[in-house]
């Protein structure tokens, strides 16, 4: 006897795993994400991603769409942050005379930072870009992590550490060149144990940790089971080899936040944990900072020198901000040295929050905070209603905001541009569903 139910289920899963016909915008985004290894080897990442997103933004821009398909508040806040950053950049450049190299590098950083975030979150509202198309492309990119990491580890084992090289296209792009170099896996001590570490398609291993964490939760929504498993495996492998301690800590946090949306038991568990911690501190007469001091010391000891260097640069950045607290310095034109001049980094290198204060002052920081808060709040209500994509987006944004404490958002935005596209496509999908509900309600009346 034929089991028609199993045939129906198989057909349904096959249809779900197929993307169907892609729009031009979907094709462009799909292949741009999948060809990430190619852009990396050519040194074109910092120009391809913002150009693709901005071209699609202007291609879909017209007054009718802007009026009828109103954008969420969070999109406008990112545009406002872009304009405030541009204003403070101009103030900073005016002090040094707008010489060509510094001006082009500063404006290009703004173009591939805040403005690209605005473009990526807005494009799905003006073009037909489905969430599952971005999910499929990111899953394939995560699979490429496995291939690239395998090759790098084989090179490391066979011939030892390989010297990085600057790709041809990267030579033509304004700005510093270190972040554009193609680097290979090296051996670095972690808790005193020499282990392989790499930054793969990114500029720095911590950025790889952020990218891998976000990829993992995007791949989780892939409908093709085999591709989903490979994508998750590639994301987890990249997360591990990045040796990003903060990304490792944020990984279980994302699961906890998602569980709190989906399970009443998880919400109760978090309350019981907070109550138990308070009781534990009260009984032993300890402050909360004393309880977390030991784990934090262990966390920092994994790479003690790196933690100290970051703290030193951030403290120097905050001291410089206090000299111009309202509008900041506008440009990253000052450096800090330590170790008898052996090490030198621009102020604002670490921590998005310290960098925003240093570059754009309190005025810029207020707009930056509004952009962050409005973006995560956009996913709050749908998450409570059970929208699984919104729950993952909300949790990933909380993790990203924590990770921004250790890495500049404007520096890593170029490497996680797909995440902002994913956020925009989810919000666009929610807006479309609301319009359908309103239309049905009007018809029923």
For the stretch 288-341, pLDDT in tens is: 445 445 554 554 555 546 667 778 888 888 898 998 899 988 888 788 876 656
Residue among 393, 398, 315, 382 at smallest CA distance from 350: 315
pLDDT given for residue 14 in this prediction:
46
pLDDT given for residue 258 in this prediction:
92
Residue 132 has pLDDT above 60, yes or no: yes
Q: Find the helix packing angle between 264-284 and 245-262, rounded to 10°.
A: 120
> Which token pair is 193?
């144990």
Query: 409: part of which helix (H) or strand (E)?
Result: helix 409-412
pLDDT given for residue 40 in this prediction:
92
Structure confidence at residue 422 as a pLDDT band (50, 70, 90): very high
Assign residue 177 a region: left if phi > 0, alpha if psi is -120 to 50, beta otherwise? alpha
Considering Cα of 343, then 331, then 423, then 384, what sign does the dihedral take?
positive
Residue 53 has pLDDT above 90, yes or no: yes
Report if pTM > 0.95.
no
Least confident of 75-84, 135-144, 429-438: 429-438
pLDDT tens digits for 63-107? Answer: 776 666 678 999 999 999 999 999 999 998 888 777 767 788 888
Residue 271 has pLDDT above 80, yes or no: no
Q: What's the rounded mean pLDDT across residues 132-149?
A: 95
Structure confidence at residue 11 as a pLDDT band (50, 70, 90): very low
> Taking all residues of the chain, what is their mean pLDDT, rounded to a whole number?
83
Give 234 or 281, the one with higher predicted confidence: 234
């Amino acid at each position: 006897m034929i089991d028609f139910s199993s045939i129906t289920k198989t057909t349904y899963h096959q249809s779900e795993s197929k993307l169907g016909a892609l729009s031009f915008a979907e094709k462009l985004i799909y292949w741009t994400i999948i060809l990430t290894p190619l852009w990396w080897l050519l040194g074109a990442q910092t120009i391809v991603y913002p150009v693709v997103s901005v071209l699609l933004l202007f291609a879909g821009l017209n007054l009718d769409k802007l009026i009828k398909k109103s954008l969420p508040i969070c999109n406008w806040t990112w545009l406002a942050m872009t304009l405030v950053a541009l204003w403070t950049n101009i103030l900073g450049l005016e002090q040094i005379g707008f010489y060509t190299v510094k001006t082009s590098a500063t404006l290009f950083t703004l173009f591939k930072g805040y403005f690209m975030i605005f473009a990526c979150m807005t494009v799905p509202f003006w073009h037909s870009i489905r969430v599952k198309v971005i999910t499929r492309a990111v899953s394939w990119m995560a699979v490429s992590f496995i291939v690239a990491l395998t090759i790098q580890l084989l090179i490391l084992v066979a011939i030892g550490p390989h010297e990085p090289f600057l790709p041809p296209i990267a030579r033509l792009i304004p700005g510093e060149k270190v972040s554009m170099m193609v680097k290979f896996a090296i051996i670095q001590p972690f808790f005193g144990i020499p282990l392989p570490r790499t930054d793969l398609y990114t500029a720095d291993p911590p950025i790889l940790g952020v990218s891998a964490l976000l990829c993992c939760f995007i791949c989780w929504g892939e409908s093709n089971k085999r591709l989903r498993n490979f994508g998750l495996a590639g994301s987890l492998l990249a997360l591990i080899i990045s040796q990003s301690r903060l990304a490792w800590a944020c990984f279980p946090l994302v699961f906890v936040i998602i569980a709190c949306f989906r399970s009443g038991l998880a919400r109760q568990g978090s309350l019981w944990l907070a109550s138990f911690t308070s009781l534990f501190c009260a009984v032993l007469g300890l402050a909360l900072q004393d309880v977390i001091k030991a784990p934090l010391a262990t966390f920092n000891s994994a790479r003690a020198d790196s933690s100290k260097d970051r703290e030193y640069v951030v403290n120097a950045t905050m001291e410089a901000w206090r000299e111009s607290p309202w509008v900041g310095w506008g440009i990253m034109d000052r450096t800090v040295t330590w170790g008898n001049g052996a090490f030198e980094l621009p102020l604002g290198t670490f921590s998005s929050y310290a960098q925003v204060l240093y570059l754009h002052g309190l005025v810029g920081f207020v707009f930056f905070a509004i952009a962050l808060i409005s973006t995560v709040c956009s996913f709050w209500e749908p998450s409570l209603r059970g929208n699984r994509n919104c729950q993952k987006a909300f949790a990933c944004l909380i993790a990203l905001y924590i990770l921004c404490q250790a890495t500049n958002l404007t520096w890593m935005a170029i490497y996680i541009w797909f995440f902002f596209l994913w956020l925009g496509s989810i919000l666009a999908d929610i807006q479309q569903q609301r319009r359908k509900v309103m239309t049905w309600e009007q018809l029923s009346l």
